[in-house]
Structure 1
Amino acid sequence: MKRLSAAFLAASLCAAQAHAAPKSNPTDDQFRAVHTQEWQWRLSQRLEDAEDDTSGIRATLPKIDPATQLVRQRYWETTLRRLDGIDEKKLSPHERINYAVYRAQIAALLENQRFREYEKPLNADSSFWSNLTYEARKPFRTAAEYRAYVAQLNDVPRYFDDEMANMRAGLARGFTPPKVTLQGRDQSLVAIVEAKPEDTPFYQPFKAMAATIPAAEQAGLREAALAAIRTQVIPAHGRLLKFMREEYVPRATDNLAAERLPDGKAYYQSKIVEYTTTNLTADAIHQVGLAEMAKIRAEMAQVMKEVKFDGDLAAFLHFLRTDPRFYAKTPEELLMRAAWIAKKFDAKAEQYFGRLPRSRFAVNPVPPEQAPYYTSGRGGPGVYLVNTYNLPARALYSLPALTLHESAPGHAFQMPLALEQQGRPAFRNAYISAYGEGWALYSERLGTEMGIYETPYEVFGMLSYQAWRASRLVVDTGIHAKGWTREQAQRYLMENTALSAHEVETEVDRYISWPGQALSYYLGEMAIMDARRRAEAALGTKFDIRAFHDTVLELGSVPLPVLAARIDRFIADGGKGPY
């Protein structure tokens, strides 16, 4: 695979210092022609939302049939050949960075097509049908948008039929999530099938409509929505539920390992490249995880000494999991504590960041139909979701780390800040897990410096979360490349983190059914921490934490070699920030 080295990228970035507004050259034009054409095609395929499409509400759902998928594969093969025909050394410094980001993106998209990832459109964490409910949470402003959404609801049966056809193709070749990770995941379908149309998430946008839409038109739109949900959406969910229970789950593979799937070793390595933006092997990552876990265990021992706990780690973890002082009594208490922690960050933000995002975020509970099998929290532009299901599994001592990761300065801070950057090609807004999850995990560590953790138990919660992510390096590679069992993976997490048994079960099933994604977090954090250490050592008293953070965040989501190169330039510039 053609890749750009960090040293080459660093040279490019240093050269960019003298080119605040790089002049175009024929090679730049050649590259822009490739990515502009491909991006417009990607929009036409409904694989992305246009930058000026504020609602993203369309009258149809995407085409996903095998013929369309093959067209996409051939298109990206051609795109990659065109990219490899570009002499990147002749690109202007600014465009070399865009090239590095874009090429990695196209390579990952193409690998997913080659391995026919679309034949496995679900895992233990999420699914194509649960993702549909997010559309109902978008802002609706005009009657035209409501009409488009009603048309989209009427398209659900076609979309589900195509998904089931793809899943049958995957089933025929043994390409499915492991059967054990699918148990109970049909409950989100049951919730729709058994609901009244007006009680489904799909009707939510129609409950409070814009006052600019005449009352009579509102009534007509509500009637059309209810009809679509009653006659199309709910029956489609019913057919899918029958398919899952009678055909798909009973015949799903019993194997846990990605390397046991068709062309499994190459498939798992492609997931490692996609989610870590490195060429590390499973064995190398496994060893990194073991080494990092040993370091974190030593930090945990120091906290246990500080609180004068008389016992070993296993006893301390049992104490944390069972003492009622560490758990909220109501969902509202958990949500309020999360909101309070988020506001504590606001008081510290200007000391650590020069530029803050204009966007704000809400603190909401995870939708009840997803909560039993959902992770403890998730954040992004405009929202921080907190899982209030099974409160005895949601430790308050871990909530500060979770909040820093998912809200600010993590996902609900980093993502909007990246989207607010000007003058970038649209493809630069794509999310790269190693960078995004690495930054969010770094944010948890940063909370120590910021004074967010007020008790030794909250510090231990942060260390438990660090161990959770470091242990993923061990567990993910153990499951997918070393023959680990589900019970072995669960035991490793129970013995090395303060996660509850419920969280351990849902997390391990996520790693089993989503190969490689769990590797991105800790490797990404290590890259940011390494970049910071290099900058601190080289700059000494000139090191400014605000300038460093602004420099990392100004990049947006990039492969880890691009990040390393940008910090090389930051050092060469004497620690000068981007603004």
Structure 2
Amino acid sequence: MKRHTLACAIAAALLLCGAPFPSFAAGASATATKTAATAPAQQMATLADRYYAEIARFDPIGATENGDIRYNDQLTIAIAPKVRAQHLARFQQFLRQLHTIPRARLAHRDQVSYDIMDYELTTTLALERFPDHLLPVSQMDSVPVMLANYAGGQSGQPLKTPQDYRAFLKRLNNLPAWLDQAVLNMREGMRTGVVQPKAVVTAMLPQFRKLTSKTVEENIYYSPITNMPATFSAADKAKFKAEYSALLKSRLMPALDRFANFLEQDYLPAARTSAGWSALPQGEAWYRAYVASSTTTSMTPEQIHAKGLSEVARIQQEYAALGPKMGYDGPASGLPNWVAQQAKFKPFTSDQQVLEVFRQLDATLRTKLPSLFTLMPKAPLDLRLEPELSRETASDHYTAPTADGSRPGVFWSVVNDPKQYGSTGMVTLFLHEGQPGHHFHIALLQELGLPDFRKFGGNNAFTEGWALYAETLGKEMGLFDKPEDYFGHLNDQMLRAVRLVVDTGMHEKGWTREQAIAYMRETLGYSEDEARNQVERYMAWPGQALSYKIGALKIQELRARAEQALGPKFSLPKFHEIVLGDGTLPLALLEAKVDAWIAASK
């Protein structure tokens, strides 16, 4: 700022005196002006780098999951109260520093970065007063199970080179300390009343028992040695076998035994019988903070509950029209149950048959998507089966490609019993988890030249909202021409609507677990086990399931607004480019961006 002011003063003096404008003065002025213009940009870039580095050091497994392999050798004990407090204190400092940067002097992309960082820091700090570190594990999310899946070499962390093996061993070295800290935290939770529901703990127990073993060779964390590449030298093989065995025998296996015993003998009896978050200390405010974070809106749980009921009613009207086309003549609400009982919609005898249907669908989509998108990821998409360890509690999901291209984006299909695997929802599922859903959004993040915190970060409302919106494109591509496939689409839409009802019902309105299971079975035709798994997911991840429908409804609303405003000028590929082109945005920023595009296009 000072250099810019001085240069302007010199130039003004020369002009006022009538002197010729020397070339050096013009150059100095131009350079100073450029420096002044880039100074805020440099401040923003520096702060963005420091912000992401803090996030990745605090949650290096999250970095790995997002395809950033630079932190694959790290495991921060982020649940330790002191570490958590230091992390949040640095976030406070980042927010203060951000507000010293003159936003108006930033270029558009940097202004977007400014707004996203402001939103993320403010949202995270709003959760600071709630002790989420006292609930470090659930059946849906835990560091030990995540690392156990990595040990197989087919999940998020590569195990192909000696460097990979050294990184994973270094990460595993911190797992015993993480487990012991988790026990300390959970004992504090038992003392203060911040504990998981019994159903969640019961669902966790089999996972953690599978992590224990009588011998080193039987332990799942020994899998890297069992599956060591043949290309490794004899010296490397011997070294890694000795090092992994020593860690397991002396520290990791005893820590796993201690944790599993604590979970079963101490924590389960202390777990709560309630289902909802409102039963916890500060539970109502805590849940509302989760809702705001998950949806990136100011919608209240009551508003979301009402929207869910409205969507359920709308979709049931579509059931009424579709049922006769499928050979069903009962009440609309009974269609999901009827479909679930039809053997013709469960045609599989092996998990490979399921995977082959997804592969054929993937091939079809590669011919259709270019007409709807001009902005598409370069990274390939692979299709794999979910590892056995997490198969019982996992849902079909997507993992991002690595930034260096060493791992593609992956669609993980969860097949527990192929004979019970329904075919009606497969098209919609792949549109959501594969392409153009998560793959087109998350893989693109690696390729847009964004700051790392935007490349590897984001929010669920946009991420899941986009994937749910992507499902609706199946109709435009002719993928729902079969009534059963369109039913699958509607049934998945119904699931997201039901989530609005059930999540808010349990955490805000006091619904019991059994009440939520019954509602899901009635509206979705789920079996007892399917409904239970879904409900217990919402018990463990309050508010997370709201993001899908709220985000998708916003994107659909913005598309309809653009179509109406632009008429024949509306371009669907361009709309998709506008939505995806800046990466993940809070919904308010996305709305402002689309509105600006509409105004400019007019």
Residue pairs, 1:488-503, within 5 angstroms: 488-503=515-530
Structure 1 residues 304 and 548, CA gap change in structure 2 (3 angstroms): same
Q: Any gaps of 5 or more consecutive residues in structure 1?
A: 1-20
Displacement, 1:322? 1.6
User: Which of 291, 296, 314 in structure 2 is aligned with 1:277?
Assistant: 296
Partner of 1:331: 351
**1:96 paired residue number:** 111
Q: Deviations over 1:524-563 (max 9, x none)?
A: 0001101111111112122221111122122211100111
What residue in structure 2 maps to residue 39 of structure 1? 52
Q: State the AA in 1 paired with 2:131.
A: R
CA contact (8 A) 2:377 2:444 kept: yes
Contact 2:127 2:286 in 1 (8 A): no
Q: Say if 1:285 and 1:477, in contact at 8 Å, map to a contact too.
A: yes
- 1:310 and 2:317 correspond: no
Q: Is the CA contact (8 Å cut-off) linking 2:77 and 2:177 kept in structure 1?
A: no
Cα deviation per residue 1:477-531 (whole Å; 9 max; x = unaligned)?
1111111111221122222224443221101111122111011000000011011
1:24 aligned residue (22, 37, 53): 37
- CA offsets per residue over residues 70-91 of structure 1, 9 Å max, x none? 1112222233334445554554
1:174 alignment counterpart:
193
Q: Which residue of 2 aligns with 1:152?
A: 171
Aligned residue number for residue 248 of structure 1: 267
Match of 1:71 among 83, 86, 95: 86
The reply on whether 1:266 has 2:285 as its aligned counterpart is yes
What is the match of residue 18 of structure 2?
none
Which AA in structure 1 matches 2:114? Y
Match of 2:373 in 1: 353
Trace 1:165-314 onto structure 2 (pairs within 5 A).
165-194=184-213, 197-198=216-217, 200-209=219-228, 213-314=232-333
- Are the counterparts in 1 of residues 308 and 500 from structure 2 also a CA contact under 8 Å? yes
Q: 1:379 & 1:447 partners in 2: Cα distance? A: 22
CA distance in 2, matches of 1:94, 1:24: 14
- Tell me the TM-score normalized by structure 2: 0.86
Closer, same or farther: CA 367–40 of 1 in aligned 2, 3 Å:
closer
Deviation at 1:55, TM superposition (A): 5.5
Which of 390, 410, 417 is 2:417 aligned to? 390
Alpha-carbon distance between aligned partners in 2 of 1:191 and 1:555, rounded to the nearest angstrom: 42
Measured against aligned partners, the alpha-carbon deviations of 1:414-437 in whole angstroms (never above 9, x if no partner) come to 211112111435344303100000
Q: Is the 8 A contact 2:40 2:106 kept in 1?
A: yes
Between 488-497 and 280-289, the greater mean CA deviation after superposition: 488-497
CA contact (8 A) 1:438 1:528 kept: yes
Shift of 1:197: 3.9
1:143 aligns with one of 159, 162, 184: 162
User: 5 Å matches for 1:417-566?
Assistant: 417-566=444-593
CA distance in 1, matches of 2:50, 2:329: 65
SS at 2:449 equivalent: coil
The runs of 5 or more residues in structure 2 that have no matched partner are 1-33, 402-408
CA RMSD of aligned residues (A): 2.6
Amino acid of the structure 1 residue aligned with 2:507: H
Any conservation in 1 of the 2:135–2:186 contact (CA below 8 Å)?
A: yes
For 1:529 and 1:132, locate their aligned partners in 2 and report how far apart those are by CA, in whole Å.
38
The DSSP-based 3-state class of the residue aligned with 1:385 is strand
CA contact (8 A) 1:342 1:404 kept: no
* Cα distance change, pair 527–261 in 1 and its aligned pair in 2 (3 A): same
Give 1 or 2 for the bigger CA radius of gyration.
2
Please give the alpha-carbon distance, in whole angstroms, between the structure 2 residues aligned to 1:183 and 1:406.
28
Amino acid at match of 1:364: R
Structure 2: which amino acid aligns with 1:39? Y
Deviation at 1:63, TM superposition (A): 4.7
**The one of 347, 361, 364 aligned to 1:341:** 361
Distance in 2 between residues matched to 1:147 and 1:565, nearest whole Å: 46
* TM-score for both structures, normalised by structure 1: 0.89
SS state at 2:412 partner? strand
CA contact (8 A) 1:433 1:521 kept: yes
- Which deviates further from its counterpart, 198-207 or 131-140? 198-207
User: CA offsets, 1:355-394, max 9 Å, x none?
Assistant: 2212223222222222222224455442111111134553
| Structure 1 residue 60: Cα displacement | 4.9
TM-superposed deviation, 1:178: 1.5
> For the structure 1 residues 195 and 55, does the alpha-carbon distance in structure 2 shift closer, same or farther, using more than 3 Å as the test?
farther
Contact persistence 1:429–1:556 (CA under 8 A): no
Distance 2:440 2:308 in 1: 28
The CA deviation at 1:397 is: 0.4
Could you report, residue by residue, the CA deviation over 1:184-226 in whole angstroms, capped at 9, with x for unpaired residues? Answer: 3211122221375445443444455556642322232133223
